[in-house]
Structure 1
Amino acid sequence: MFKKVLHGLNKKKVKVFSLFLLCSFLAWFISNLSDTYESRAYFTLNYRNLPDSLLLGKNSDHLIEAKLRTSGFQFLYYKIFKSRIDIDVSEVEFQNGGYVLSEEILKRQMDQQLSQNISLLDLDRNRLEVDLYQVDSKKIPIKAKLGLQLEQNYILDGKIKITPDSIEVKGPSNEIDTIKFVETSLIQLNNVNADFSNEVGLLFPKGLDNSIFSIGRVTVSGKVSKFSEKVFEVPIQVINIPQGYQIKTFPDVVTVLCKATIERLKELSASDFEIVADYSQLMGSESSTLFLEIKESPEKVYDVKLESNTVNFVLEQQ
């Protein structure tokens, strides 16, 4: 019984001693952190205010080491968290084929962003080289990569619409001059019988490490309508007839099959088509057959076909 009591008292003393030891250490640690020290810290560089004519390359430094005089608390913070320093690129100077920030300008920019209780003593370099390069810009058309399968008796009413239809690219001239167009990702649409609109990403060419594109996505849309067919009887016109002769064709009209939307077909008539047979195509041969050609057809129709591509004729002297 006595041994158990003694053992309990010893455990209690150990706990009390450990608590006092921890408190003493914390007090010592906080006291030391309150003192001023000279040491080094790392800062992440954030480049800003780039001129429109320049772009930041991938070889720019993104870390800088500085010697500081400040409290231990501040150094502890820098050990745990890397602080960011904004670098104003508009103050760069062009020297020996490259862009640099002098040590004086670099220190001034950093001093303006450090707390008042921090003194900047030195940097790990006497100047900062910034990887910048001259850029050109141009607009490039966008092409839709579209797999469209329409339901039977439906047509694409008009052209595919891409919004926006072009993209601006900035980069070195030797890079952007190689780009002729930019394609969208593949859009596969099956059994379509209604208007469609799809947002899709763009596929950028590889090897353009220093080029920047203004957008990354576009909208591809199209109008889909149901179509019908209508037959028109169109007169045949013969051209390049020899002087002093006239031609009679058999028949003198040809059947034209036109496919379009129902609304569009209601607006059409035979006079909207021009079917021509060119006598000069015979080139002196004795054939009595002429080939027919659709010379004019109305806009906004899906398809126009001739029932027959040839016509017989008789040449008569006037």
Structure 2
Amino acid sequence: MKTAQKISNLNLKNNRKLKVFLFFLVLTSIIWLLIALSKNYTSTAIFKVEYENLPVDKLVQNKPISEVEISINAPGFTLINYKIRTHKIAFNLNGLISNKGTSFLLPNTQLSYLNKQVSNETTVVDVLQDTIFFDLGRNISKKVVVKPNVDVKFKLGYNFIEDLKLIPDSIVITGPEKKIDSISEIFTMPLELADVHQTIEADLKLDIPAAKLNLKVSNKSVHVLGKVDKFTEGVFKIPVRFINEPENVTINPFPKEIEVVYRVGLSHFNKINENSVSVVFDYNQYKNDTLIQYLTPVIQQKSEFIHSLEIQPNQIEFLIQN
């Protein structure tokens, strides 16, 4: 019994000594690590790149490199932070060099500018990418018309009572000259509507092709307005009238009146009368071909409210008297 108790007490003492030893070993290691990490070291880290102060009349046409590897000197604690988290750093494009149409930047000429962007205990030693190339173009602006990409199917008897309006109807695009020159119009995103019988109002985004996403636009969308009304048909008669008739010639038409059949929105029907349309017959048609026996009508003017019209008859006979 006494021998077993002595062995147990000895094991207990040994365990205590082992625990004390391990405690001091861990404590010593931590202290050593803290001392080691408080010292300065030189190592590399990856930085995300931003570019500042691009000349106003220039534009980067192809995206340059977005990350660089930089050699920095900093305390161990700070270096660990740079290793586990990607930081940003900006290059000043006022330092761009151009040579025979090629533009490039020498990052290591901007070390003082880079050091202002890092913490006080960190020093930028060297940028491993010694040259960054840029594809620059002249930045220009141009006004282009916006066109609707709208497919409307109306309910029977309905239609637009005026042209579809876009607000604004043109935009200003800014970008590289070689891309801007090829653009004469911008379309809206598609809009398809069916069984339409009421006024259309919608905000449509502009369709900027993927290859031109780096363009700047004054508007990214436009307001589309299309006034819709039910259409009705109207008829009135007007006398036949001639133009370019010589002074010594009298033209007798058959018939002496023509019928104007027109389609107009119901809300504008009362605004249409005989003065809303000007139809003439041109004597020069006969003068240019004396064999013709009929003259065809020429519509000189019609009201903006008239959607379509038809002249009946669409030809008249005539008799010339000298």
* TM-score, normalised by the number of residues in structure 1: 0.82
Mapped pair 1:285 → 2:291: yes
Q: State whether residues 251 and 318 of structure 2, in contact with CA within 8 Å, keep that contact through their aligned partners in structure 1.
A: yes
What is the distance in 1 between the residues matched to 2:239 and 2:26? 109
Deviation at 1:145, TM superposition (A): 1.1
SS in 2 for 1:203: coil
Change (3 A) 1:251 1:112: same
State the number of aligned residues: 308
Deviation at 1:263, TM superposition (A): 3.7
Mapped pair 1:252 → 2:251: no
Deviation at 1:208, TM superposition (A): 4.5
What is the distance in 1 between the residues matched to 2:63 and 2:81? 28
Pairing partner for 1:212 from 191, 215, 219: 215
Paired-residue identity, %: 26
Change (3 A) 1:218 1:297: closer
What is the distance in 2 between the residues matched to 1:271 and 1:227? 20
Deviation per CA, 1:125-159, whole angstroms, max 9, x where unpaired? 55554443333332222211110112222221222
Deviation at 1:232, TM superposition (A): 1.3
What is the distance in 2 between the residues matched to 1:45 and 1:66? 11
Change (3 A) 1:252 1:15: farther
Structure-1 residue corresponding to 2:314: 309
Structure-2 residue corresponding to 1:299: 304
Deviation per CA, 1:53-87, whole angstroms, max 9, x where unpaired? 11124352322222222111111111111110122
Q: How does 1:100-119 map to 2 (within 5 A)?
A: 100-102=104-106, 105-119=109-123
Deviation per CA, 1:164-184, whole angstroms, max 9, x where unpaired? 323333343333222222222
Structure-1 residue corresponding to 2:167: 163
What is the distance in 1 between the residues matched to 2:33 and 2:173? 56
Change (3 A) 1:236 1:123: same
Pairing partner for 1:276 from 277, 280, 285: 280
What is the distance in 2 between the residues matched to 1:119 and 1:240? 90
Q: State whether residues 244 and 284 of structure 2, in contact with CA within 8 Å, keep that contact through their aligned partners in structure 1.
A: yes
Q: Which moved more, 1:124-133 or 1:71-80?
A: 124-133
* TM-score, normalised by the number of residues in structure 2: 0.81
Q: Which moved more, 1:90-99 or 1:145-154?
A: 90-99
Structure-2 residue corresponding to 1:174: 178
Pairing partner for 2:148 from 122, 144, 148: 144
Q: State whether residues 235 and 275 of structure 1, in contact with CA within 8 Å, keep that contact through their aligned partners in structure 2.
A: no
SS in 1 for 2:291: coil
Deviation at 1:24, TM superposition (A): 5.7
Change (3 A) 1:243 1:139: closer
Structure-2 residue corresponding to 1:230: 234
What is the distance in 2 between the residues matched to 1:252 and 1:35? 110
What is the distance in 1 between the residues matched to 2:22 and 2:313? 108
Q: State whether residues 142 and 173 of structure 2, in contact with CA within 8 Å, keep that contact through their aligned partners in structure 1.
A: yes
Change (3 A) 1:315 1:121: closer
Deviation at 1:91, TM superposition (A): 3.6
1:87 corresponds to which letter in structure 2?
F
Change (3 A) 1:96 1:279: closer
Q: Which moved more, 1:22-31 or 1:222-231?
A: 22-31
Mapped pair 1:185 → 2:189: yes
Q: How does 1:60-139 map to 2 (within 5 A)?
A: 60-102=64-106, 105-126=109-130, 128-139=132-143
RMSD between aligned alpha carbons? 3.2
Q: State whether residues 183 and 202 of structure 1, in contact with CA within 8 Å, keep that contact through their aligned partners in structure 2.
A: yes
Q: State whether residues 136 and 171 of structure 1, in contact with CA within 8 Å, keep that contact through their aligned partners in structure 2.
A: yes
1:285 corresponds to which letter in structure 2?
L
Alignment gaps of 5+ in structure 2: none
Deviation at 1:46, TM superposition (A): 0.6
Change (3 A) 1:191 1:59: closer
